[in-house]
Amino acid sequence: MPAETVLLLPGTASDEVFVRSVFTDPLSQVGAVLNAPTVRTLSERLTALENAPAGHPIVVGGVSLGAHVAARWAAHNPERCAGLVLALPAWIGDPRDAPAAHAAKASAEIIRTRGLATALAGTTGWLHDELSRAWHGYGDRLVPHLEEAAESLAPTLEELKSLDVPTGILGCTDDPVHPIEIARLWAEAMPRAVLVTTTLDAYPHALGRAVQAWQQAVSR
């Protein structure tokens, strides 16, 4: 039997390099293969899902915005989704009051008015390294993408309730941008979800624990 392929999408202004660094090993440990497409806009993220092989249902997911796009796609294409691997969901439905949406808008404004270097100056460690690489890779599309992400819809509670497939969710107990309360609400709404948690000091590789949560959901 061929290995399961899992299609995972990056978060806002993140990229496939980060997705591969976090999820390749956890997926290989459970006999699955990662498909991390190169995408730079919301429409490209959706197109990657639409263009996935349609011969059988697939496992999809992603980080933050990538999780939102994958879960909404799954809710509207239930016959095509076999499972979900979701890390750091940031809001439900409308992004109006979401910290992650406010952060994306603020970053876009700083980059537009004061430059990329100024926006990156407030970050350190692995996050600085990741954002430096990914943001430069977006080029002129960075600011428009940050703005579109900040206005994008996440799944509603009704959409989440409709997702009756094995689902692993990773939430962080001390990440103010991705409140743990949102991850818990997603997990409570989804009929077959398993929630695992981590903390900021375990980032970024702890995000791969969403794979183990998915496997726990499969075995239930």
pLDDT per residue over 132-180, tens digit each?
999 999 999 999 999 999 999 999 999 999 999 999 999 999 999 999 9
Looking at the structure, tell me whether residues 24 and 86 fall in a common domain.
yes
Does residue 169 share a domain with residue 86?
Answer: yes
Judged on CB neighbours under 10 Å (0-12, 13-18, 19+), 96 is exposed
Residue 45's pLDDT is 98
pLDDT at residue 2 in the model: 63
Instruction: Give the structural domain span for 137.
Output: 99-147
Residues 103 and 86 in one domain: no
Q: Name the DSSP letter for residue 96.
A: T
The reply to whether 42 and 78 lie within a common domain is yes
Answer for the pair 214, 59: CB distance below 8 angstroms, yes or no: yes
pLDDT of residue 153: 98
In the chain, count of helices (H) and strands (E)?
Answer: 10, 6
Q: Binning pLDDT at 50, 70 and 90, where does residue 55 land?
A: confident
60 & 164 share domain: yes
Same domain, 74 and 17: yes
For residue 122, the model assigns a pLDDT of: 86
Q: What's the total number of domains in the chain?
A: 2
Put residue 3 in one of left, alpha, beta given phi > 0 → left and psi -120 to 50 → alpha: beta
Task: Write out 102-142 in H/E/C secondary structure.
Answer: HHHHHHHHHHHHHCHHHHHHCCCHHHHHHHHHHHHHHHHHH
Q: d(Cα 213, Cα 220) in Å, to the nearest integer?
A: 11
Phi, psi (degrees; rounded to nearest 5) at 168:
-105, 130
Instruction: Using the 3D structure, point to which of 114, 130, 147 is the last residue of a domain.
Output: 147
Q: What percent of the chain has pLDDT over 90?
A: 96
The most distant pair of C-alpha atoms in the chain lies apart, rounded to whole Å, by: 54
3 state SS for 61-75? EEECHHHHHHHHHHH
My answer on whether 89 and 104 are in the same domain is no
Q: Are residues 134 and 117 in the same domain?
A: yes
**Cα angle for residues 99, 100, 103 (degrees, 5° grid):** 85
- Co-location of 199 and 106 in the same domain: no
